[in-house]
Each structure stands twice: as structure tokens, then as C-alpha cells.
Amino acid sequence: MSPALNLEGVSFGYRPGQLVLAGVDLAVQEGEFVAIAGPNGGGKTTLVRLALGLARPQAGSASLFGEPAHRFSRRATLGYVAQRARVGTEGPVTVREVVAAGRLAQGGLLGPLRARDRAIVAEAIADVGLTALADVPLATLSGGQQQRAFIAKAFAGEPALLVLDEPTAGVDAESQEALARLLARLHEDRRVTTLYVSHEFGAVEGIVERLVLVRGGIVFDGPPRDLPAEWHDPSHSHARI
């Protein structure tokens, strides 16, 4: 079986002679929960862009579920939760409406949701603990609750691969811990291949199966418990907690 994503000998730079990543080998198997951490400018975002086919390696190869990443044919199966996700408006859009938008990629829906779509949306909302707030305007919720709604939106799309880009940025410590517990439970229930991308990994260190630290290349790849003790020091920006 091919890995969910596979990078072999990947190098990439935005300017001639200035590589952001060099010689990266990374394979993520289906169902894994992997944290990708590193400093701003260290290459973690570029690595994810290459993995998703949004950029092409200058050397090496990138594949998704056995297909070249830049020509991946099942884009609707890729879920993405952006850092501090927003709906782009302060209007009265509700949690249910935000989550329902996650069904669009699956069916190209233009009219009312079908019964199955409504059931999937309701399940996703329930999974993130927002059933009681489903018809409340998103803008009235806390940052952590809003992020839960966007996670539900991603799951409503029934993704084969879910990418979470700094999902706990801008929320308080209690909400960070709650989101981490939620992600752990959702992964256990759904076994969706998940990449958690962050400049710090303290919130998920205890729940991910594997930690990949990126600083111009991969400097560590393994269980968080095997991370060298000195890299837990906040002064080490490439392994900041």
C-alpha cells in the first residue's frame, strides 16, 4: 500500500541558490497523526505545500496516495483548517452554515442539502461539541469554539487527509488543551490521516504518534518521547513549546 503522502529527496527554494528545504525524505502512512513543527521560516509550511501539490519540488518527488502530488485527482478528499480561520464576514452566518459548506466539495451542491448531507453535518457538529450552538452566529462564539466549527467543517467533507495549520494560534491555554483533546478523540474515532502544523508542539505532544521537526530539512522524526531533552528548552526555536 502506498503511503498517504511521500516525499523522496525533495529540495525546494524560492530564489536561485537559496534552498528552503534540502534532501527531505518523509512518508506518512494512512491513519497516522503527525505533528510537523519548526520555526517560522524553517520550511514547515513549504514542506506542507509540496506535500499537497501546491508547489513542485525542484529536486526529488512528492506523491499523495500514490499519485504525483501536483496532479492529485481527488482534491475533494483533502481537508484543511487554516490558522485563525475566518468566514470572511462579521455577518450572521451560523455554525451549521459554516459546517455545511464542508459538503460542497463532495457534491458541488447548489441547492438545499440532501438528507445524507444534513446527517453528516449534524454528526460533525456533535463530534466537536457544538450541537447546542449549531444555530448561533459564529461571530458570537469564542476563538476556541470558532476553531471547533472549522474543524467540524473539515470533517464534514469526509477527508482522507486533514491538515491543521496552527490550529491553536490565538486561543487561550485552556482552549488549546481542549482542542488537543478533541483532535485526539476525533482521530481515534475516525482514523483520518492528520498533519498538525505548528511552530510549537506542546499542545499535542502527548497525543500525536509522531513528531517531525523541520529546519531546512528534517532534524528529528520519531515519537515525541524520543525527542532530545535539550530541544524542549524554549530557547531552541526549532523545537519550541
Report the 3 state secondary structure along 157-190: CCCCEEEEECCCCCCCHHHHHHHHHHHHHHHHHH
Given a cut of 90, is residue 238 above it in pLDDT?
no
The DSSP output letter for 114 is: P
Contact 155/164 with Cβ under 8 angstroms? no
* pLDDT at 232 (0 to 100): 59
Contact 26/37 with Cβ under 8 angstroms? no
N-terminal to C-terminal alpha carbon distance within the chain: 35
* pLDDT at 113 (0 to 100): 76
Nearest to 204 by CA among 236, 153, 167, 235: 167
* pLDDT grade for 23, boundaries at 50, 70 and 90: very high
In sequence order, the β-bridge partners of residue 116 are none
How many residues in total does the chain contain? Answer: 241
**Helix 143-156, helix 115-127: angle, nearest 10:** 140
Number of Cβ within a 10 Å radius of residue 98 = 21
Q: How far apart are CA 172 and CA 18, in angstroms?
A: 37
Only one residue has cell 503527525, namely 34
Name the CATH architecture for the domain at 1-74+162-241: 3-Layer(aba) Sandwich (3.40)
In sequence order, the β-bridge partners of residue 81 are 164
Contact 107/76 with Cβ under 8 angstroms? no
Q: How far apart are CA 238 and CA 214, in angstroms?
A: 7
In sequence order, the β-bridge partners of residue 214 are 218
Sort strands 78-81 and 161-165 into parallel, antiparallel or unpaired: parallel
- Max mean pLDDT among 22-31, 73-82, 160-169, 202-211 falls in 22-31
* pLDDT at 235 (0 to 100): 38
Sort strands 59-64 and 210-214 into parallel, antiparallel or unpaired: unpaired
Nearest to 176 by CA among 204, 149, 139: 204
SS3 category, 16 = coil
For the chain, give every domain's residue range. Answer: 1-74+162-241, 85-159
Contact 37/87 with Cβ under 8 angstroms? no
Torsion sign, CA atoms 72, 80, 124, 185: positive
Mean pLDDT of 153-168: 90
* Model confidence pLDDT, tens digit, residues 118-145: 999 999 999 999 999 999 999 899 888 8
The alpha-carbon radius of gyration of the chain (Å, integer) is 18
